[in-house]
Amino acid sequence: MSLESKRAATRPRSFAAVLSVLILAEVVSAFELSMMYVAIPTLIKDFHADTNTVAWVVTAYLLVSASCAALGGRLGDLYGRKKVMLVVLFLALVGSVVSMIGGSLAAVIIGRGIQGATGAVMALAFGLAREHLAKDKVQVGLSMIGASALIAGAFGALAAGAVIDLFSWHAIFICAAVLAVLGLLAVWFVIPRDAGEVQRQRIDVLGAVLLPVAVTCLLLGLSSAGKTGFGSLNFLGLVAIAVIAAVIWVFWELKAANPIVNIRMFKNRHIAITMIVTFVAAIGPVGGNGVLQSMLSQYPKAPITEVGQGMSPSFSGAMSCVAALVGFALSPVGGYLSKKLGARVVFFSGIILLTLPSLILVLTFGNFPIFMVATIVQAIGISLFYGALPNVLFEAVPESHSSEVTGANTMIRNIGQSTATAVMAYILATAYDPATTLTGTSGFRTGYWLLVVLGALAAVLALLLRKNPAQWNPPGASGGSLGEDRGEAAAVAAGTREASGVTGAAASGVSAPPAQAAGRHATASQAQDGDLVRD
């Protein structure tokens, strides 16, 4: 039975049902990250610990999450995305229980590390959407799943604050556990069985070990740089270990028969540019805006400072939720525009909308109406950016490797955002005034100008993306399913199903004539040859 026939036999009738479940799974992941930022002050008080120690409840999650994004995505492609998604959500439940009943800060941190497995959720959700949604609705679905992280994070912080005020920090783990159970049951009962063939391949154990070591050391170094400085032995030592582990990992993955992350994908021009743009944007407006905006919103107003808005924490959280709602509401529009104009156009537009507010804010510090408008525009920009990102990647990627590629992209984005946090903390620290215990205007100004430069660089690089990219044809993606994947990818790259006769025929349930089938394989072969020549 072909892959398309299996999809037809297993795909549910309701687009809304599948999409709602995948968004719920992403909500579980986003809530588990955002809820702990609000809880840090309470944990400091209850456990009589310092800020650096308590910050590990966030750091532990991020370290595991970054590695699991790539590992979980690859395992999902190999052994079935639904199966791996169920395992990930079960680990989220276990981590919530450990943190809730452990009775010590160490137990909370261990539980948070287990919860970090949800870093794989987004890559798996993207793969499942591409696997089970109707072809003409995939781009809209991907846009909404990507944007759901924005609204889930905003509401997660707001809900966590209310729960802590009414009960205690234990209650947020009860909420997280309930969400994990709901997600687990929804995926189990609503998502169809995995349509692809389970590949009986030996797991790349060494690659799976080296990747977390490299990522963990890098993120640990970056997270400590704001305090110790980028010239400290602690930072330089951790980065050195990360680089050595990463170099060994790359050489090993190039030789491995079944690598955790296929490094050769970066030989494809389209994939490589998208990954670079993601990293630059993550260091810039995607990762840096959150740090600066959250501080500006609650900083004292004039005449104490010339930059702050003087909001209360609750009002600041409510404002973020309003902006997130607007961004999420426009996510279907992003998917529709991806179909009509091409994902790269929406991707570029998202970067521009993320960057322009930084330029405006640096010229209008302290102006509340402009600050509100800028916050909403940035939310729209990040919604378009996250929603278009998988659509851009999938223009050059076969369905059999969907979660692997998006998982690697998520890992790169996480590393970039961690870098942005460290860099912004360092810049703001250089403008710290011990007399007033406040950061001077120069610190915010430098930070925003850096975001403008990096955002502009990301936009320029995004212009290098081609309308009809060459396809990445990884080893092992052979047989009929590969042909179908190539035809599908060609159709997505052209922005319409009519770009491939066989894809349009498959979508309408009509078998492709032999001439079309032959043309499809010839086109796929030419695309592969062109890819090798160009790359």
Q: Over the chain, what is the mean pLDDT?
A: 80
Q: Give pLDDT tens digits for 396-439.
A: 998 888 888 988 898 888 888 878 877 887 888 888 788 777 88
Predicted confidence band at 201 (pLDDT cuts at 50, 70, 90)? low
**Measured between alpha carbons, how far is residue 274 from residues 48, 145, 200, 243, 267 in Å?**
45, 19, 30, 22, 12
Q: Which two tokens stand for residue 518?
A: 């032959």
Q: Rounded mean pLDDT of 231-245?
A: 90
For residues 270-286, average pLDDT: 94
pLDDT at 151: 75
Cβ neighbours around 237 below 10 Å, total: 12
Q: What are phi and psi of 259, to 5 degrees?
A: -65, 155
**Exposure class string for 169-180: b at 16+ Cβ within 10 A, else e:** bebbbebbbebb
| Over residues 243-271, mean pLDDT | 89
- Residue 91 binned pLDDT confidence (cut-offs 50, 70, 90): very high
Note whether 99 and 108 are within 8 A (CB): yes
* C-alpha separations of 85 from 113, 142, 337 in Å: 17, 17, 29
Taking the C-alpha atoms of residue 242 and residue 13, their distance in angstroms, rounded to an integer, is: 47
Of 188-197, 353-362, 474-483, where does the model show the most confidence? Answer: 353-362
Range name among 6-15, 124-133, 219-228, 463-472 with the lowest pLDDT average: 6-15
Q: Report the C-alpha gap between 162 and 516 in whole angstroms.
A: 59
Task: Provide the pLDDT confidence category of residue 198 given band limits of 50, 70 and 90.
Answer: low
409: closest CA among 69, 32, 131, 152? Answer: 69
Is residue 239 within 8 A of residue 86, CB to CB? The reply is no
**Predicted confidence band of residue 525 (pLDDT cuts 50, 70, 90):** very low
Give me the pLDDT at residue 450, please: 95
Looking at the predicted structure, is the pLDDT value of residue 514 above 60?
A: no
Q: How far apart are CA 243 and CA 514, in angstroms?
A: 51
The whole-model pTM stands at 0.75
Q: For the residues 268-276, what does the mean pLDDT come to?
A: 95
Structural domains in the chain, CATH included, are: 1-202 (1.20.1250.20), 204-257 (no CATH), 264-466 (1.20.1250.20), 480-534 (no CATH)
For the ranges 367-376, 459-468, 508-517, the lowest mean pLDDT is seen at 508-517
Poorest-pLDDT segment among 85-89, 207-211, 450-454, 512-516: 512-516
The type of residue at 139 is: Q
Report the distance separating Cα 420 and Cα 19, nearest Å.
31
3-class secondary-structure state, position 432: strand
User: 10 Å Cβ neighbour count for 52?
Assistant: 11
Backbone angles phi, psi at 153, to 5 degrees: -65, -40
CA within 13 Å, CB half, 102: 19
Q: Does the pLDDT of residue 347 top 90, yes or no?
A: yes
Q: Taking a C-beta distance cutoff of 8 angstroms, is the pair 132, 11 a contact?
A: yes
